A and B are shown apart, each in its own frame.
Chain A
Amino acid sequence: MFKKLFLIVFFNIVFLGSMQARDQLYVVGSSTVYPFATVVAENFGQKSGMKVPKIESTGSGGGMKLFCKGLGTQHPDITNASRRVKKKEFKKCQENGIDFVEVKVGYDGIVIANSKKSPVMALTKKQIFLALGKDVPEGNKEGGKLIPNPNKKWSDVDPSLPNIAIEVLGPPPTSGTRDAFQELAIEGGCKAFPELKAIKKQDKKKYKSICRAVREDGPFIEAGENDNLIVQKLVENPNAFGVFGFSFLLENADKIQGSTVNGAAPTMAAIADKSYGISRPLYFYVKSAHLDVIPGMREYVAEFTAPDTWGPGGYLEERGMIPMPDEERAKFRADAKNMTALAKR
């Protein structure tokens, strides 16, 4: 008797799982887009009366992996990303028969901030590279032989910078913020050296290993994914700097300040017109095949791309996302409305 009952329960559980239709959107992806996507999801739920989408913060790469695994209710419908889908990922998706729509939603700035108790630091990308790169040209000069970064103090990098030890708290390598910081700030500074830039043409791998590597000898401290923790540490240690997303600077404007990079302060306007150089686009990808299976997908996308949401003055701007220029918004809104699948990457 018990055996029978057990078997029935067991099979029920197994089939319940695989056959259950889903009436709730399932979103995965970047932890940078997470705070914005969750706000949209909640508003979508309150406006439409449908279930609020479930959003998992898995990181851009992790999200793509789950997203491209297959079709069916156990797989996510939408993935967020703080970078564009990679060629490799696009191919993988195609192999699994997954078409998707690309929607760019806005920009996120990455700031290098310190405590309000200290003066604002004016940095250039070149200085960031010299302070945080793994190998730098000897003497910090063009043409110098590459040596392991000897700079211990900011004043070693450039005499105009303060005479304090370099101490930068930043995200770990698993984070999209770290990827973007390496690509935009470190590589951006690296490119300022013509002989290093020249390597790119000869040996792309070698170039990346020089220009995107972050030093591991102490001055750059991996502080984990929790940006609030970094903010707390900056307040306690006025000589330290932290690297994180713009929204944390916005929320903590009473405690910390962003350093200027190449002369531009990290403000909404400067990030939007790209005069502040460390910013990255945010995306989400919509699985075309799920559109008519999972209720609410079109409505969620429509909510995300509504002017009140992602436009200037919309509620995502209040949360620290930088809106796209009008033409770009119009293009992606049209794509999202027609659900034009991404053809190639």
Chain B
Amino acid sequence: MTNIDLLENQRDKLITKRYNKEKRFILIGRLAIALTIMFLTILLGSIVLRGISGFTTTTITFNVTLDKKLIDPESTNDKKVISSARWRKITRDSIYNVLNDMSLVMNGEVLSKAEQKSLVRLFSRSSEYQIRDIVMDDISLVGKTIEVTLPTASEVDQFLKGKIDENLPEDNRPLNNIQISWINHMVDNGMINKTFNSNLFTKGDSRNAEDAGILGALMGSLLALLVCLSISFPLGVMASIYLEEFAPKNKLTDMIEVNINNLAAVPSIVFGLLGLAIFLNVFNLPRSSPLAGGLVLALMTLPTIIISSRAAIKAVPPSIREAAMGLGASKMQSVTHHVLPLAMPGMLTGTIIGMAQALGETAPLLMMGMVAFIVDVPQSITDPSTVLPAQIFLWSDQPERGFEEKTAAAIMVLLGFLLTMNALAVFLRNKFERKW
């Protein structure tokens, strides 16, 4: 063997080693990505699997006899009289009749107290109020027998979704044997149907899983974001323009820059404490209102907006400014007419991402009293309200089983919003961004 052969051999070994190193690096990189994708799929998959059934609900259709004697015996047609009628009795009587209608019991046969209770438990606890509201909307119904379609109790819904095991001993499940046999009959008769859960999107919070909805929280989130946007966007953009275009470069502005960057990394709960001390205790803003919540979120998103806006302004080439000034524009004109329009897509992207962040925030709002049981849908920024993530947090701690899928469904809605906002940001960037 010659020396040259030996050298070549060594060289080949080195090369193979180098190539192997590269291969390993690529492999590890791919593994990391695969792992991330796996975790994301597991996370999203488990949420979707749990939440998808939250978008459907079970309804029951039955006849309600609106006995005039019980509702409005003196034909006053007065809404006050009608609303204070004995709706519980009217509803219960109609419910007891359901079994007769299905000819499950003979006419005249009276249910025992326990059976009556079992039967009533199949219907939503709010049935009597829903029937009252139907009649209040149309008082000409008094004296007639109407067919109503109302949500069933959450347990029935859970049973039909297969979440209650029929084979367990009777006292270990929320439905007893006779209730299950009734449910099966009603399903066969077409009285019980599965429908889209519109309550989820049209109602506020409730302690009955079948009545609970996210509209209140959704409105609260939107109102708070509106307050947040209308304060943080103009302030953020103005601050970044001043810092980037007008402010002198000295120690003071350097300090301010460092502080803004630090502010972006401050834990959000700190902003909540600040909000509690200033907005609630000094300015006496209404507790739990989107106004107070939005102000705190604005403080939180301000640094994000300033940083991204400054980056967007920096990306506008100096030649644009010089050309404008060369033609006699003032500094102000060059900024408002040329720099700002070109930097706007970048600023908007940053703003939307900041808003998306604010949408998912719970910790600072906890201090502002926005994590609370609030049923009425807020109409203005001073009404008490909660926000989507807070609603999810509250539902996740509810003992009733029906809230489990509701929680996951609400998470899906929140994720949907976040995705839409991020997609909008990407779209704006791609559509309006100019490359130099």
B284 touches A14 (CB 8 A): yes
Per-position contact with A for B387-430: 1 when CB-CB < 8 Å, else 0? 00000001011111100100000000000000000000000000
B126 touches A46 (CB 8 A): yes
A227-B399, A228-B404, A254-B172 known; A42-B206 Cβ under 8 A: yes
Q: Is A320 positioned at the interface, with any CB of B under 8 Å from its CB?
A: yes
Identify the closest chain B residue to A308 (Cβ).
B88
Per-position contact with B for A72-84: 1 when CB-CB < 8 Å, else 0? 0010000000000
B397 touches A228 (CB 8 A): yes
Most buried by B among A34, A56, A248: A56
B286 touches A45 (CB 8 A): no
Chain B residues with Cβ below 8 Å from A38 are: 207, 373
Q: Which of the residues A56, A227, A253 comes within 8 Å of B369, measured between beta carbons?
A: A56
Q: Is A179 positioned at the interface, with any CB of B under 8 Å from its CB?
A: no
Identify the closest chain B residue to A76 (Cβ).
B287
A55 touches B372 (CB 8 A): yes
A13-B291, A54-B372, A57-B372 known; A20-B382 Cβ under 8 A: yes
Per-position contact with B for A297-334: 1 when CB-CB < 8 Å, else 0? 00000000000000000010001100000000000000
Interface size range of chain B in the complex: 35 or more
B129 touches A46 (CB 8 A): yes
Cβ of A247 to closest chain B Cβ, rounded Å: 5
Q: Which of the residues A18, A24, A31, A35 comes within 8 Å of B384, measured between beta carbons?
A: A24
Identify the closest chain A residue to B208 (Cβ).
A42
Identify the closest chain A residue to B204 (Cβ).
A52
Q: Which of the residues B174, B280, B283, B375 comes within 8 Å of A52, measured between beta carbons?
A: B375
> Which chain B residues in 162-196 approach chain A with CB under 8 Å?
164-165, 168, 171-174
B207 touches A74 (CB 8 A): no
Q: How far is the CA of A51 from the CA of B378 in the complex (A)?
A: 11
Q: A-side interface residues toward B, CB under 8 Å?
A: 13-14, 16-18, 20, 24, 26, 31, 34-35, 38-39, 41-42, 45-47, 49, 51-52, 54-57, 74, 116, 225-228, 245, 247-248, 250-254, 315, 319-320
21 A-B pairs with C-beta separation under 8 A: A16-B286, A16-B382, A17-B283, A17-B286, A34-B373, A35-B207, A42-B375, A47-B129, A49-B83, A54-B384, A55-B372, A57-B371, A57-B372, A74-B286, A226-B397, A228-B404, A247-B399, A251-B399, A251-B400, A251-B401, A252-B401
Q: B-side interface residues toward A, CB under 8 Å?
A: 83, 125-126, 129, 164-165, 168, 171-174, 206-208, 280, 283-288, 291, 369, 371-376, 382, 384, 394, 396-401, 404
